[in-house]
Structure 1
Amino acid sequence: MEDLHGPDGLPLRHYRPRRQARPLMVFVHGGAFLMGDLDTHDRTCRRIADACDVEVLAVDYRRAPEHPCPAAIADVAAVLRWSRPAAVAGDSAGGYLATMACLWLRDAGDSLPAIQILICPNTDLTLSQPSVVDKGIGYALDADFLAWAITQWAPDPATRPSPLLAPDLHGMPDTLIVTAEHDALRDEGDAYAHRLTQAGVRVTHRQEPGLMHGFIQNMDLTSQEAAAAHDRLFRDIACLFSR
């Protein structure tokens, strides 16, 4: 593991599972656009690098409210341009930033990663999907907190870009989307998988039964179901890299 700096001095952390060079994945952490850093997701990045035999480059992007939309998207897009990874991945808000950065690069005519990996992603900042109501109380992600966090990230509702609502999703990378049954963001992740498929994108999609938002973050330590879901995720990632 090595801490380094990327474009404009952006803090990064590079994980290598072995001395020989391996395909590179850029990882974008979650945290409702407000929280999280290289340390909060250190174990997750280490496990992905080891289990999937890939190098992982974690991004410490700028966060709201000091740096509102689109600062973090610009940071992730800059790292993708700079590092030219095989894949970009993210959980929750990090999944949103990962796929928004891909949309930015596509629209700018830049090269894209071959793969995007989205774990319980936020794709609809309007929060209009049914699971926001059905699963937004009593589970890991509270709908009221989520709505508040989005207002910190993008105060003006008229300027809240949502991947799910993008008019055109053609040309996006091969995609793995994993959602969780008891997650307020479940339906928008599932719907995004459907829209990408309709646009001709090759998609692997699974909804994990019985799990809540954030299961990728250390829930394997206390839940056999989460541990099994981690194993499935790691196998899916490894399969994508072996294509």
Structure 2
Amino acid sequence: MGTKTVLLLLVGVLGAYYVYTPIPDSFEEPWRFMWMATQIKTVTNLAVFAEQLGISHFMDIGMLYMSSQEVPPTSDENVTVMETTFNNVLVRVYIPNRKSEALRRAWFNTDILSRRTANRLDAVVISTNYRLAPKYHFPIQFEDVYNSLKWFLRQDILEKYGVDPKRIGISGDSAGGNLAAAVSQQVINDPDVKIKLKTQSLIYPALQTLDMNLPSFQENSHFPTLPKSLMVRFWSEYFTTDRTLEEAMFFNQHVPEKSSHLFQFVNWSSLLPENFKKGHFYNSPTHGSSELANKYPGFIDVRAAPLLSDDSKLHGLPLTYVITCQYDVLRDDGIMYVSRLQNAGVRVTHNHIEDGFHGALSYYGFKIAYRIEDQYLSWLSKNL
């Protein structure tokens, strides 16, 4: 066997190893998923490499990739799209073109479904362009979303856009789900906001910063769309570029003993249904020093981790829809929040996707994306 043949064989084997991803039997389109996972892996590896060489920050590469997926604010025959500011925060507004004699419902959105939601539900949709890490850290993102929502909930603004004040909802996926949940909690306790939300929809949301060893983190630690290492990096970058917080979070050694009372709100042994606890045993958290919490108190702030809210502050939340996916490190965040909300008397619809993975709704072309979208918009149509 010649040298060239050996090299080609070696390259082929290494390439196959790089591309191959173990995939559950329940997945509808395994090869399409494998190709998508390879793209994510490639972008992540390039970001790590560029950061190690000092070329660019890891998060900047990720943001560049995400921006390449964005759709420009162009109008079409169904929806008029415009960009403006609400309280100095850049937003994108989607308004259906068809005439409506009645006031429209409104959806304050941080996910990618804005155009489809506007057209299918005949709704005015507001998408907030909040400022991102690593240039900006918490609470900037929360404040951007909250300030723009508070501006929109004024009677004169609703009249301007022809919106029914009794039919306003908020939604978000992943980090957007975190912001939607946090903002919803803030709105119900703000005496200056007279018009309240009717619904909130949280799509595989990130809701807690205390326990990075939940069963879902253990089971999906290396699952390609959002491995544990990447999720922990995202969380730490939300608060600081100091990598010591990331390391402490990864090993669950970041919460000081003085904040140990907060673990009751994320205790999966009491908040997860039995089928999600099988094969797992709850260990008491390992406490870290107070230094990180003193420097970066955001990670124990309820505005960053909505699951840390006590029951009395959850009670007044609006009708809620939660999507969780089986193959997702954030699965248990959403499921625990469902339990917390139900215990507080909030009406909740929980849609758990057994063959779902983090970001599934975002990958158009996949059958699962259209299935989840249809379920999601059907719920909105009936309840908003």
Q: TM-score normalized by structure 2? A: 0.56
Deviation at 1:190, TM superposition (A): 1.0
Deviation at 1:128, TM superposition (A): 4.1
Q: Does 1:175 align with 2:298?
A: no
Partners in 2 of 1:15 and 1:116 — Cα distance?
19
In the other structure, the counterpart of 2:227 is 142
C-alpha contact 1:90 1:118 (8 A) present in aligned 2: yes
C-alpha contact 1:4 1:13 (8 A) present in aligned 2: yes
The structure 1 segments of at least 4 consecutive aligned residues displaced by more than 6 Å after TM superposition are: none
Backbone CA RMSD of aligned residues: 1.7
Q: Answer with 1 or 2: which has the greater Rg.
A: 2
Give the unaligned 5+ runs of structure 2.
1-80, 154-164, 241-291
C-alpha contact 2:223 2:328 (8 A) present in aligned 1: no
Instruction: Read off the aligned partner of 1:150 and give its amino acid letter.
Output: W
Partners in 2 of 1:57 and 1:238 — Cα distance?
17
1:179-228 deviations in Å (ceiling 9; x for gaps): 111111011101101111111111111101211111121x241x223321
Q: Does 1:99 align with 2:238?
A: no
Counterparts of residues 64-103 of structure 1 (less than 5 Å): 64-84=133-153, 86-103=168-185
Q: Does 1:237 align with 2:380?
A: yes
- Select the structure that is richer in helix: 2
Partners in 2 of 1:240 and 1:129 — Cα distance?
32
Counterparts of residues 23-102 of structure 1 (less than 5 Å): 23-29=105-111, 41=112, 44-84=113-153, 86-102=168-184
In the other structure, the counterpart of 1:114 is 198
The verdict on how the C-alpha distance between 1:224 and 1:193 changes in structure 2, with shifts beyond 3 A counting, is same
Instruction: Read off the aligned partner of 1:11 and give its amino acid letter.
Output: L
1:92-121 deviations in Å (ceiling 9; x for gaps): 000101111122222333343111111110
Partners in 2 of 1:209 and 1:220 — Cα distance?
19
In the other structure, the counterpart of 1:191 is 336
In the other structure, the counterpart of 2:93 is 14
Which moves more between the two structures, 179-188 or 48-57?
A: 48-57
Instruction: Read off the aligned partner of 1:224 and give its amino acid letter.
Output: K
1:125-160 deviations in Å (ceiling 9; x for gaps): 223422022113123112111111111112455432
Partners in 1 of 2:99 and 2:130 — Cα distance?
27
C-alpha contact 2:109 2:128 (8 A) present in aligned 1: yes
Seq. identity, %: 28
Instruction: Read off the aligned partner of 2:378 and give its amino acid letter.
Output: R
